[in-house]
Every structure is written in C-alpha cells, then in structure tokens.
A and B are shown apart, each in its own frame.
Chain A
Amino acid sequence: MADETGSSIDRRRFLTVLGVSGGGALALSGCSTDRVEKLIPYLVQSEDQVPGVATWYASSCTECPTGCGLHVRTREGRAVKLEGNPEHPINRGKLCSRGQAALQGLYNPDRLQGPMARGADGKFQPITWDDAIGRLATKLTAAGAQVAAISGAGRGTFSDLLAEWVGALGGRVVRHQPFDSEPLRAANRQAFGIDQLPSHDFSKAKYIVSFGADFLESWPGSIEHQRGFAQSHGFGQRDVAKFVYLAPRRDLTGLNADEWHPVRPGSEASLALAMAGLLLEERNGPAALRGALVTFTPEMASKETGLPVETIRRLSREFGAARPSLAVAGGVSSQHAGAAEVCAAVNLLNYAAGNLGETVLFGANPDTADGYAALNDLLTAIDAGRVAVLLVHDSNPAYSLPKASNFGSRLQKVGYKVSISMYLDETAALCDLLLPQHHALERWDDLRPRSGVYNLMQPVMEPVFDTLPAGEILLRTAKKVGGALARFNAASYQAHLQSRWQALAAERREPDFNAFWHAAVQRGGVFGEPVSTPATLSAGAGKVTYTRPTFEGTGQYVLALYPHGLLHDGRGANKPWLLENGDPVTKITWHSWVELHPEAARKLDVRNGEIVRLTSPHGSVEAPVYIYSGVHPEVVAMPLGFGHTEYGQFARGRGVNALDLVGAPRGLFLPYVSTRVSVEKTGNFSQLATTEGNPRQLGRGIAEGVSLEAAQKGLTVEQAYIAEGRGKHEVNTERELEAVRGWSNEQAEATQYGDYAAANPRWGMAIDLAKCTGCQACVTACYAENNIPTVGESEIRKGREMTWIRIERYWEDPADAPQADARFVPMLCQHCTNAPCEPVCPVYAAYHTADGLNGQVYNRCVGTRYCANNCPYKVRYFNWYKYNELAWPDPLHLQLNPDVTVRARGVMEKCTFCIQRIRGAQNKARLEDRPLRDGEFTTACAQACPSDAIVFGNLTDPASRVAQLQQNPRGYRVLEDLNTRSAITYLAKVLLPREG
C-alpha cells in the first residue's frame, strides 16, 4: 500500500483508497457505519405482527390482588409497555408504578430459567421438565393426603384448580397475601354480618376521614380510589371534599390530607367511637347503640389520642354535616393489635353518618386471601409432621413472615418442598424442587377480582425462559399421578380454562361461545357491574370495644411499620424501576431508612443519614435516620419491603427487613405496629440516597396554592396573593427585562424562517396540582416509555438520577409544623419558548423545533453540559457512564422501546414530550389524510396518571383540552419571572381554610 501511494499517506487518504479498491462492503466491516448487519426474517410471518408497528393485547395485572385490566404494547413479538385497560371498571385505563413494573418481572435477569432440583450436594441442578414432573408425582404418590399448598394466586380458574387438585388428594390450600385485609373483614362480619371487603366511593364523598387507611397506596384498588379522590377532592365541581387524616404517621395518603392529626398509635378506635357517639346523640340514633357508646366521650378519646376535645367535636360536626361523607379504616400501617376494633368503630361511624349504601357499598366482594389464621393452622400442621409435600406457589412467606415465626426452620419438617415461583426467592431457596412458572404475560389465565368482573389473560409473547404455566404443571402432574387426580385430564391448561369459560358462557346464556370467547380475549375479560347488597347493622354491631393499646417491649418508641409505596410487601424489591423511583414521601431510593420525629432526633442528637440501631424484643436492625415531622413524636417508622436475603441481584442485601422487629402473627392478622423499640446511635453515617433537592420553595413560586375561596371566585394566583395580603412574587429589574426582551425579539424573528414559518402545532401541557397526589405512576411510565436507565444507589447520591419527570415535594410552613402543607409538583422539561438551554449549546444539539419543542439531538451532543447548567428547572440529565450497557442486564434489555434511541455515554438527555408518540400519531394521521385529533394520543406520563392531573395537547388548537385548561385562572408557570415562556401550565393547588 505504501509503495502505491507514497509515504505521505495520511489516515483519511488511506481510508479513501481502501474504500475504492476494497472488494465490497465486507472489506469495510471495520468502519463504524459499514459493518455487516444481518436481516433475519421470520420463518413464518405472524399474522398479528407487523414489523415496526405495535400490537396491543388485553390482559390483567397480577402484581397485587386488585386485578386491574392491562393493555400490553408489543413490538416484534415482545412486550415493551404496560398500560391500563380503559374499558376495565377498576382502573379505567390507568396503572400504578407496581403494575407497570411487571415488565421488569417478565424480563428479570434473576428469573429461574428452567426446572431445578436440589442435588446430593445441596445445590440446585437443572433438570428437564419430564424429570421434574416425575419427581413431584413420585413424592405425591407417597405422601397420600399429607399434601398442602400456599398460593399467592388471585381468585380465578387457577386458584379453583389448585383447590380442587389439592383437595382431591386430601390436602388443603392456603391462599396467602401478606397485606391481607383481615381486620376489615372481621369488622364487617361483626357489624353487618357480611364476610366481605366493602368498596368505597370516594368520588361521591363530600368529607373524608381516614383512620390510618392508606387508600391511595397499599390498599387494593388504589387506582380506583385515586380516581374517585381526584374527583371529590380535586376542585372538579367547584367544591372540595375535605380530607382529614388521623394516624401516627403521615404517609402519602396523609400528605394529601387537608388536616393531619398525629393520634397516639393504636388509639384510633376511641376517636371513631367518640365521633359516632356524638353523631348518634345529635341525630337521636337507636337507643341501644347510644347506650353502647356512652362511655366513649370526646374527653375519653382526647385522653387516649392526645387530640383536643374541641377538635374531636369539630371533626364530628363537620363529618355529620357533609352528606354523604366517608370514613375509612384498615391497612397495614394501622395494623396494630386493635386493628379490628378500629374497623368496627369506623363501621359504626359510617352507619351513624348515614354513609352505608352511599359511599360504603357491599356486593362487589373484592378478592381477599385466607388470612394469617389459615396460614398459622397450616404451620401448626407442619410442626406436627402432617405435611409431607408442600407446594409454595407465587408466595414468599419466608420473607414476608417475621423471623419470630421461624418459618424457615419449621419448613424443614416438610418432607418435600416444591416452589412454583418465577424467582429464587427466600422461600424457593428453602425448597427441594423448583418449578418456575410462566409470567402472567406469557400464559392463558383469568381472575375474578370482584363479582361480575372476569379478567382474561392471554400470552402476549413467547416465554422468555423454559418455564410452564402453573396450571400446566398441575395438569401434567395429575396425568403422572393418576388415581385421585385422574379427573384432571384437560389436554392443556388453556383447554381447562376454556372449559370454565364455557360454563360461564352457559351461565350468562351466551348464544355463541366462540363469539363470547373472542370478545372476551379482545376486551381483556367480561366486565359487569356488581349487584349491590344492602348492609344493615347486625345484632352484634353494638358490641364495640376499645382496648387501650399495649406494645411489646420496653423501648422508648413505638415502632410503626408501613408498606413501601412501590416495593409493596417486598415483591417489587428486585425491579430497578421501583428501587430507583423511590419513596414518594421521603424521596429516598435504593435503601431502607428510619423515620424519627425532629424532637426525637434532637433528643438522641442524630442527623439525617446517621445510622441508628433499633432494638425490639424480637431483634434489632440498623438503618440511616430520616428526620420527618410527619411521625408522632413517640413513634419511629420504617418501610417494609427491603432486606431480602435472596430474590435477585437488585434485592439481595439491600437495606434491612423491618419485620425482624415484630413478633409472629397471632390470631387473624399480623400486627405490624405491635412493638416498642429502643433507638441507639451506632456512630456510623451513610448519606441518604435521595432525589430531593431543596425541600423548601424559598419564595420561588414553584408549587403555588390558592385558597378555596379565591379559586371559587376565579382569582388568579397573583390576585389571590394580593387579596390575602401576602407579598407578590419578586419581579424582574428593568435591566433584566430589557435583556429578556431582546432575546425574545430575536426568537420571534427566528420563527419567520424555514420550517418555523408554517402552521405548526405547539405542544403543551397542563398539570393540575389540586389533583396530583404524588404517586409517581408517571415517573415509572416515563422510565418504561423512554428507555431511561436506572443508575443505582451510589450515582443517586451524586445527584445523577436520569428521571425525565420527577415529583418534587415541597414543605410549606416551618418544616417541623405538624400540619405542614405538602405540595407535589411533577417537574419535567418545560419546553420553553424562550429556552435558556438552547443558545448556550455550542453544537446546536439543544435547539427549538418547529412545533415548539426543545429538541435534543443526541448525535450532535458532545456533552459540554452547558445546557444543564443553564436550565433553571434542572430537568436535563447527563449520561456519565455507559448506562446503555449497564442498566439493562440481559434479558432486561428486551423491554427497551424500539422507537426511542438508547443514549450513549457523554450525551445529554431530557423529556421530549414523548416525541416518538407525536411522530407516530402524525404518521398515522397523514396516512389517513386527516389532521391530528385532540386526545388521539398523549404522553406516557399523562396516560398513566391515575388522577388525570396531566393533560397534553396542541396549544394552537383553541378547542383542545389543554388549551382550555391553560386559560384556567389557577394557571401559572413555574419561574415565570425568567420569561422562559414555558409550555407547561400548572394549576395551583386549592387549599382549604386551616383549622385546629
């Protein structure tokens, strides 16, 4: 080569020569754009897949017992996004973070990849399915009737099959959910003689009181409650239902309350009874009831709860005056020994206020599991050596039971332990045989989450690993075992499911089963309205009791455990989205923490991040402190869900399991608030991995609020400030305004050229802070839609999270004021007309698009980070590492959205207003020769929002929903003084007058 071209050849010349003389593309495979790529077509083209076009399937969520409907977006045969099914009566098109993260369960790198058995050396060895089923069959044949199963399956054909199958052998099944609502069911049995959970209509309530019930978070049906709550509390009908929260800890539900009263832990029942007593007296209720409540005076309740008598009287008065009102109780964070008493008292309160049949409804019979009493029975049988084969399906009691239960060592009494789970969780690790089951998105199945509602699930893709549907495992085993199981002879689980649906079709008198089945598959099930059952007080209703709470141990503080908003009972702990998204209240990600009241922190002389040791009679744990004014001064609170010893690479060894501090479940339920702990300093410190910046607004007007009165009068935020005698926001100096005007003029001129001169849409957004509850479903949706990498704990500590939309939480009032108003603001790129990020980019990577977006061209970006420095909203995120290679370990990368570029190291990124959805909708409209319709598509965050607080659309179309919302007098723009002229209008939160 050198001979031909002389010694002066440079690199560019060398490549040119090679390009011309080289023999085709193969010779150039070293060059970046000319590498050899393969096109591998289908062998047989699938009829319902068009490459490049999404195919949607209806299915059902199985992440909690609620049973929300799903729409699954698949591309080229793999699921890439989960959204709510708009037709489904429970979630109406919305989906919470946990449901959306089911995708990370499907593609979880720690899923079991095939059946395994424990070998002679005690380690798991891969085996074939035939071998696995054979081993189970042999053990079952030998076990006779000594068979039992623990299952986390929701009510449906599978749970029926399991019950019949185990029943045929003579064994029993315990359906177990750690966060079961046993106290509420027990109270309903007592008060109304109905062994069901009620359904609550939050949308109709004009006054809501919650006795520690976190109905916006861990309660089943939280999406439905959020929708109803947004309607009644969100200034929808020119009025706002007042929401009062009475609990020792202020969780996310509590942060949405207009009034929070930190009652002493365990004392809620006395308060509810006193309020009921006052109401019954005022309304001249049944004498027998009034007699039963005579001892529960406001004075007595005041002594128990620590609330002033006057407040109790006022709450009772207000509650009675609003019709209908709604009182709710029950839930993990208020599950102390007297939890059933609280629920019974609240039943009386609802009765006294006339809410039965109005906001408290029976008949839907939401799915519940069998409770801890059944599980305890089974454990007793295990202790007695009466269980030879135990199947554990989709349930992880080795983690979710406190250590004090000794589940692990008691399990050793079982001869043969079989796990039917997707993961090697704590329970599976104790088993002898692992039979990994299909994910819900890979199998045929159904659920009956409430009466009249039948969810149908279909496989949306080929299984990722060598797994089987749990039903198929049962049927195949039945064929091997024969005998009592011989009648389970369906050809496959799908055939079994269809035969059950044939029975359903016959019951519903459907003329044509095929049409019925296809319609159900297409719609995701059959949805009917439940028949309402009227509830009347039973004879036992008046037998109300209140036991002054006692807590085990001698520590100084009462320990209040509560479900982590996203990890739930710990099942979310191996999903990076849920770990990185963090807790909605504290904004802490990736690790556990201990919440201390500021007063307690002062007493102990600890600061945020200082590691303390909590010791109860059952054990001790160490975790960093988070000082939080939202806990009762006598309480320390800890989230559940962390501290796994197995379960996968993200969960293992992360944080501590707070359950180590409580005792074993006795009776109906597991009391999560039942011990006292002592708190000691360890002298160690670990910086909290929090995504929170400054918790204060510092007068910047980021999260505005207007009084109800001002909102009703239609005053703007500024007018409301003046009317209330508060100072106006700072205004720009003349010099600043001049500079800003100059830049504006230049921008205006720029719009005269090229693409910008045409009639283009202007994309914009309206976010109603009166509706936003801070649940963070939008954040997870954004992670899923836009291929946002998770960066992990240590990077978060450096402030390097990549979340394109975050929920900022600001405290109004002094931070330690108990009533401190919490304001949530979804913060994302504001797509400013006058964007500060654009003029500072030296390479035009940040630029203004013709349709008014702040574009970010990844392939131009050289990573100067000037744009991020100049962005006043801090919504630009930089790829410090090769997150594109680190964040999605195989096969997690299969979840990536093929419509969105995966960003490389050294590139700045930010919210694009889901430009891939905009372009997709434009392409579709163009094919159909029509303009875009308002509401035809929306961004991922707006799609997910359970409260419908986010509305996206075209601002130049005056009829669009967003354009109309932007005219709302409550509308304001964040940091408007900077003249960024952003595309997002926030509607100020509506504040009720403060009392008490």
Chain B
Amino acid sequence: MRKLAFVLGGVAAGGMAALLASSEAGPQAQQQAVAVADSVRAPVIADSGSLRGPRQPIFFRHDIHSGQYKIQCQYCHYSVAVSPEPGIPSVQTCMGCHLVIGGTDSTHQAEIRKLRQAWNEKQPIEWVRIHYLPRHAHFPHQRHIKALGPNACATCHGEVQRMPQVFKVNEVDRMGFCVTCHMERKVSRDCSVCHY
C-alpha cells in the first residue's frame, strides 16, 4: 500500500511539474527543436502538445536518445535488419537503461516515472502508431536495410534524431512514395512484390 501511494504521488507531482513547465516554454521549444544539431544538447521541452506529430502516452524524445546520445536505431528497433517488422522495443528494453537513469530535469523525470510505473504495473505502453501500411501491402524492412545500409532509416522516416516528437515526414502509406524510389533505383515495380 505504501508503495502504491508513492507511485501515485510521483505521478501527480510529475504531472504538476509538466503543467508548470508548459506555461513557460511552449512555442520556443519547438523552434529550438528544429534548430538542434546532432552534437547539440537537446532542449528541455515540457509540453509535447504544440509539437508536430501525435501526442504519445509517454513523451519519448527521439532527439535525445538518437540525436544527443547517438544510440543506434537498431539498439531499440532490434529486428529491422532480419525481419519485415522493425521491432518495437519492449518495456524491458527501456528499463535496461532507465532502471538507473532517472532523468536530468523534472520534465524528463516525470516521463521516466511513467515508464517505471508501466513496468511496475506490468502494463505495456500503447504508443500511437505513426507509420503504417494498409494490410494488403507487405514491406520487408530487412530487404531495404540490406539494400540501403544500416543508416537508411531516414530515407522514409526522415531525420528522427532531430524530432522531439515523431511525425510522418513522407507519405509512406501512399504507393507513389514507394514507386518513385523504386523507379529511381531501377528495382522491381511488379505489383506482387508487395501485394499478396
């Protein structure tokens, strides 16, 4: 019972901190996000609501993980080179680091607390999906990594390492986007390559 109260308390405090922070640094943060370079420290952003892309249950910062700390995409998206599916990291993968890393400032700490709570409650995090194809199209990630190299992610997903909140850069769910690239690279455009 004491433990539960502690967790709940933590969430409440985090929520308040986020609210306070949002009133101060909303629009500026977004401008900063665009300006941030790979080597530059990612800005502190308290409110994800004004950023592009759908709001996620946890304000996971690709710009911090992938941009600032240069963690390879494949560290979390572990199956992208071997499977049609890129692999969404399990909560355990997140906790591998965040068991120790609690965040440098209050806004980060609040989000990491949400993660830890999910882990303690054995509840997976329901991310809002951004890139998805209709069910009648098959996209083998591994073939594209093989052809374009391990850092090819940006070809379709854009510069995720600069995005505080991920949004769709390309119309990956439109066939024209696929076919344009296939034409440029002179690879198969046969329907049955993807549709079966």
Contacts and interface: CB of A to CB of B under 8 A. Distances in A.
A711 to B, nearest CB: 37
Given A33-B173, A850-B190, A927-B146, A45 B138 contact: no
B82 interface: yes
Given A38-B128, A42-B90, A901-B135, A51 B85 contact: yes
A847 interface: yes
B185 to A, nearest CB: 13
A36 B142 contact: no
Interface in B116-162: 119, 122-130, 132, 134-138, 140-143, 146
Contacts of B54: 24-26, 36
A312 B171 CA distance: 78
Interface in A34-54: 36-45, 50-53
A754 B142 CA distance: 24
B53 interface: yes
A143 interface: no
Contacts of A860: 191
Nearest to A46: B90
A461 to B, nearest CB: 18
Contact of A36 (B79, B125, B129): B129
B124 A41 contact: yes
Contacts of A39: 88, 126-129
Contact of B85 (A38, A52, A855): A52
A902 interface: yes
Contact of A41 (B84, B88, B141): B88
A24 B130 CA distance: 11
Given A41-B90, A43-B91, A899 B126 contact: no
Nearest to A855: B192
A68 to B, nearest CB: 30
Interface in A863-911: 899-902
A832 interface: no
B196 interface: yes
A33 B140 CA distance: 20
Interface stretch (A257-265, A542-550, A915-923): A915-923
Contacts of A53: 79, 82-85
A916 B196 contact: yes
Nearest to B175: A859
Contact of A901 (B87, B119, B190, B196): B196
Contacts of A926: 143, 146
Nearest to A915: B196
A947 B55 CA distance: 57
A311 interface: no
A698 to B, nearest CB: 35
Contacts, number: 130
What's the interface size class on A, roughly? 35 or more
Contacts of B193: 919
A850 B55 CA distance: 43
Contacts of B143: 923, 926-927
A902 B137 CA distance: 11
A853 B193 CA distance: 11
Contacts of B78: 45
B92 interface: yes
A754 B183 CA distance: 10
B127 A50 contact: no
A24 B53 contact: yes
A719 interface: no
A687 B58 CA distance: 61
Contacts of B142: 923, 927
Contacts of B85: 50-53
B84 A52 contact: yes
Given A33-B173, A39-B129, A43-B122, A859 B134 contact: yes
A912 interface: yes
A45 B84 CA distance: 17
A313 B90 CA distance: 75
B32 interface: no
A926 B189 CA distance: 17
B103 to A, nearest CB: 21
Interface in A538-563: none
A858 interface: yes
B9 interface: no
Interface of A: 24-26, 33, 36-45, 50-53, 754-755, 847, 849-851, 853, 855, 857-860, 899-902, 912, 915-916, 919, 923, 926-927
Given A37-B128, A915-B196, 10 more contacts: A24-B52, A25-B128, A38-B127, A43-B92, A52-B85, A53-B79, A53-B83, A53-B84, A855-B192, A901-B196
What are the nearest 9 A-B pairs in CB distance?
A52-B85, A52-B83, A37-B129, A45-B90, A42-B90, A51-B85, A41-B88, A52-B84, A39-B127
8 contacts: A25-B54, A39-B128, A44-B90, A44-B91, A50-B79, A50-B82, A850-B190, A927-B146
